[in-house]
Amino acid sequence: MFDFLWNLTSFIVALGILVTVHEYGHFWVARRAGVEVQRFSIGFGKPLCRWYDKQGTEYVIAMIPLGGYVKMLDERVDDVPAEKRHLAFNNKPVLSRIAVVSAGPIANFLFAIVVLAAMYMIGVQNAKPIVGEVQLNSRAAQANMQSGDHILSMAGQEVSSWQDVTFGLMRHLGEERIEIKVKDADQQIAIRVLDIEGWKLDKQDEAPLNAVGIVPFRPALTLTLGHIANDSAAQQAGLQVNDTLVALDGEPIENWQTFVRSIQSSANTTLMLSVSREGKVLELPITPQQRTGPNGIQQGFLGVVPLLEKWPDGYIETRHYGPWDSMVLGAEKTFELIRLSFDMIGNLITGQVSVKNLSGPVGIAVGAGNSVSYGIVAFLSFLALISVNLGVFNLLPLPVLDGGHLMYYIIELIRKKPVSEKTQELGFKVGAVVLIALTCFALLNDVSRL
């Protein structure tokens, strides 16, 4: 229950910020274009609170926090008095209407730049992209990638984190190969050529790194507990943080992986767990709960997370930047995310990326909750990523989105006359059906991940 409330609260806060930024972009430009703004709403449905400014604009925070809107005076919607016709959105020049409509996505992109700049000024800590293992018979194995390889660049572009490597793989999806520059375990520079011809992300939630057979280096898992989940079998059995696992049903526990396999195969079965606590060995009966695993198989679940061994010296890097460098990096990262988002949309259309990888509100909520748990830097990174995605999504040429309106206005600019009302109405209906279908599909994907 706590996790649910945490994720929900984080989702509302994150989405509330991003929607406010998006709608404020429309609002700010509309005001400067001389359009009368009647309502600025965050959320849909019944208003929870409302107030008015000196110009008569109504500000609303509504019950359903899944979006927002700016309602402008428009003759196509309301009866407009003759003395106010010059304030109506539909009577403004087409370039003014284009500016108002595009301001929402642009605001999201500018917000991402500012958020990323703040993140870089705070300081970004990353694990260097050093390969831990290479899976047998994988594309990485065929490229002769080795354990201990420190990835320096991909296709000539420098990388400094596993996120950079992941984005690099996704950016080159659909190409034949990627040249990867590495420093091997003997500190020698080498070039690995990764063959990605025919490679697709066609499995749900498959990480690009895992898909090509690269396992990032991580410190070994210890047998000392670092976290106990609330309401879990471990908590009910009396396990505590810093307990060290000793034996299970009298058999010594050699490593964490062996312990996990024993628990997974013992759902609803009582076992005797020996742990070391403050110099004493305790015998605790545990009964792993049952849950559905990734492959739909029922398995045992205890609800514990182990501590890791310390990272080797030089494997973790923290970078701080000044204000100017942070803004430049924020802009570069935002443009990279925009390009990557459009690439992913193209790959979804061509089938390079499976639609099973689409996420909806539930996926965003879980991501928001997790990022908040990891700290302010992770949350800022998450906000920037979702802000860019929101901006790009709204630029899709679906008539119910900003991109659809822009499409009509650009056609009007070229033809020197507006698209007919009948055509626009048909487009809105088709766009609404497509948008609802995408939303439902994303929700189904979310549910399948629970």
The set of catalytic residues is 23
User: Which string of DSSP letters, residue by residue, matches 301-318?
Assistant: E--EEEEEPPPPTTSEEE
| Cα atoms in the Cβ-side hemisphere of radius 13 Å centred on 434 | 14
Strands 157-158 and 150-154: antiparallel
Buried b (16+ CB within 10 A) or exposed e, 387-412: bbbbbbbbbbebbbbbbbbbbbbeee
> Which segments within 79-156 are labelled E, that is strand?
124-127, 131-134, 150-154
Helices 323-350 and 162-171: angle between axes, nearest 10 degrees: 40
Q: Which among 388, 383, 384 is positioned nearest to 344, based on CA atoms?
A: 388
Helices vs. strands in the chain: H and E counts, helices first: 12, 18
> For residues 279 and 272, what is the distance between their CA atoms, to the nearest angstrom?
19
The Cα angle at residue 367 between residues 64 and 206, in degrees rounded to 5:
125
> For residues 19 and 38, what is the distance between their CA atoms, to the nearest angstrom?
18
Amino acid, single-letter form, for residue 130: I
> For residues 13 and 35, what is the distance between their CA atoms, to the nearest angstrom?
29
Alpha-carbon distances of 411 from 30, 402, 405, 416, rounded to whole Å: 21, 14, 10, 8
Cβ(107)–Cβ(185) below 8 Å: no
Helices 361-374 and 421-449: angle between axes, nearest 10 degrees: 60
The Cα angle at residue 221 between residues 216 and 222, in degrees rounded to 5:
160
Q: State the first-to-last Cα distance of the chain, in angstroms, to the nearest integer.
A: 14
SS3 state at 381 = helix
Q: Which among 329, 356, 342 is positioned nearest to 158, based on CA atoms?
A: 329
**Cβ count near 180 (within 10 Å):** 25
The Cα angle at residue 282 between residues 261 and 263, in degrees rounded to 5:
10
